[in-house]
Amino acid sequence: MNSNQLKTHKAFINPRQLQELLTQGSVQVLYTVVDFPVNYVSKQTENCYLPNSILFDFDNVFVDKNTGLPHSLPSPTLFAKEMSNLGISNDTTLVIYDDQGSFSAPRVWWMLKTMGHQNVLVLDGGLQAWIDNGFEVESELVKNTEKSQYKVKFTPELLVDKNQILENLHNPNCVVIDARSAARFNGTEAEPRKGVRSGHIPASQNLHYAQLLNDGKFIDTAAIEQLFKPFVASHNSVDPQLRFSCGSGVTACILALAAYQIGIENWAVYDGSWSEWGADPTCPIE
């Protein structure tokens, strides 16, 4: 992958850049968190948040509860309703962060991108990076009392489902990249969710999300490019279709955010991920 051939996008913001935006009053920060079955815990022992943070709850609010899968992407109608309830307008610049480095915030970034929100960034390193830079925190989240009229501009090309993955199993220009650990990918470690088989989608490749992070922060752009190079350079297509999967659609978004940052444009997230595929006995596995 030649970095000169890629148009990079801005996906991250560091704490000092965010502090400058906050002093200008031109940004809304959204805090997110996920109840995750794989061990990954916050370094914080007390509740603390960036000033004026609003909770973006994709486990219980921004979720389709009818799929039987964890935190499925909601319908555009529900998404618009809940964004309006938060008082967020379409032209608001949003910065997403979590208390686990850069772990669940990329999921919210992807959700917002899929729903057409233009100005959205992830705080690189999350809450801990903010604290490490000496910036103030608050003990409570805030709730907006005024509603907005949020409108969704759905971007379906950033999302793929099980049937689309099945249809492209033998498509050499479609590359499924699994963000789970090598042990889970290879089936040598049991899945944390009951009823889910071990293994991976046939012909898929493995890139553990942790390789993209260093102490909760994303590695530099050149290093990200090197990690993605095998998936792009080994295919005949000039613009291979990258499809990101993981356990439940959270850490796949870490890969999506990194791909976006280095200018890869033909990518999508498999929302159901292994929670759906591994639980369906009709889906082939390796």
Contacts of 230 (CB under 8 A, 6+ apart): 205
What's the alpha-carbon Rg for the chain, to the nearest Å? 18
Residues 127/50, Cβ–Cβ less than 8 Å: yes
Token digits for 282? 């009709």
Of 238, 235, 171, 180, the residue nearest 203 (C-alpha): 171
Look at residue 286 and tell me if it is in a domain: no
The residue from 48, 246, 253, 283 that is catalytic is 246
Residues 174/240, Cβ–Cβ less than 8 Å: yes
| Co-location of 203 and 231 in the same domain | yes
Surface-to-core class of residue 164, CB atoms within 10 Å of its CB (0-12 exposed, 13-18 middle, 19+ buried): middle
What pLDDT was estimated at residue 1?
38
- Structural domain ending residue among the three candidates 155, 174, 209: 155
Domains in the chain, number: 2
| Co-location of 20 and 138 in the same domain | yes
Burial pattern 187-208, b for ≥16 Cβ within 10 A else e, equals eeeebebeebebbbbeebebbb
What pLDDT was estimated at residue 24?
87
Amino acid found at 269: V
Instruction: Using alpha carbons, list the distances in angstroms from residue 93 to 59, 163, 283.
Output: 23, 34, 40
- Structural domain ending residue among the three candidates 133, 155, 177: 155
Instruction: Using alpha carbons, list the distances in angstroms from residue 274 to 18, 57, 217, 246, 254.
Output: 35, 22, 25, 6, 16
10-residue stretch averages of pLDDT, the chain, 286 residues long: 46 94 90 73 73 95 92 96 96 94 95 96 96 96 91 97 96 94 94 92 96 95 94 69 96 97 94 96 96
The 3-state DSSP class for residue 19 equals helix
| Co-location of 62 and 147 in the same domain | yes
Of 103, 83, 70, the residue nearest 252 (C-alpha): 103
Amino acid found at 142: V
What pLDDT was estimated at residue 8?
47
Any catalytic annotation for residue 246?
yes
Look at residue 107 and tell me if it is in a domain: yes
By DSSP bridging, strand 267-270 and strand 241-245 are parallel
Containing domain of residue 203, as a range? 157-277
| Co-location of 8 and 150 in the same domain | yes
Of 267, 271, 259, 245, the residue nearest 212 (C-alpha): 259
| Co-location of 149 and 21 in the same domain | yes
What pLDDT was estimated at residue 32?
96
d(CA 109, CA 81): 18
Query: Phi, psi (5° rounding) for residue 265?
Result: -110, -25
| Co-location of 27 and 133 in the same domain | yes
What pLDDT was estimated at residue 236?
56
CATH code at position 70: 3.40.250.10
pTM, full prediction: 0.93
Residues 155/115, Cβ–Cβ less than 8 Å: yes
| Co-location of 54 and 133 in the same domain | yes
Contacts of 123 (CB under 8 A, 6+ apart): 12, 13, 14, 15, 18, 29, 50, 95, 96, 97, 102, 105, 129, 130
- Structural domain ending residue among the three candidates 128, 155, 182: 155
Instruction: Using alpha carbons, list the distances in angstroms from residue 145 to 85, 89, 142.
Output: 8, 14, 9
